[in-house]
Amino acid sequence: MPVVIGWQVVARFLLGAPSMWAEELGRYLLVAATMLCSAILIEKNDHIAIETVVKMLPGRPRIALTWLRDAISLTICGLIAWYGPTPVGIGVRQSSAGMPIKMSLPCLAIPVGAALMALILVLGRINRQHQQES
């Protein structure tokens, strides 16, 4: 992505001939990186979270709150993964303006990333449950 965006800057400002494909590809790569890296952050438990209240709670309420957090996150990721294929199906009939690809390809990053996040949330919850029982 930095190479593509760098090329776009050089083409636009130094060569005076902006490249439409570089702008689009940079945007598509940003969405794909955001979705896939979000899954990695969830797996490493490095995603954005406000833990002030959670850390102040004793054992059982803390566990209940983390269950609630995971349930809400799983619901949102599940909904995105479930409804995400709709834009992918629509994108099959549309072509990119700057590149010779169907719009279904860039749209695919959203449901795939959400499904991956949901899977990691479930596996992480199972792993934490086994650790708590041990």
Give this prediction's pTM: 0.82
Q: Give pLDDT, residue 40.
A: 92
Residue 60 has pLDDT above 70, yes or no: yes
> Can you give the residue ranges of every domain in the chain?
2-133
d(CA 73, CA 10): 40
Q: Share the mean pLDDT of the chain.
A: 89
Residue 131 has pLDDT above 80, yes or no: no
Calculate the CA 9 to chain-centre distance. 26
3-state secondary structure 29-97: HHHHHHHHHHHHHHHCCCCCCCCHHHHHCCHHHHHHHHHHHHHHHHHHHHHHHHHCHHHHHHHCCCECC
d(CA 93, CA 28): 18
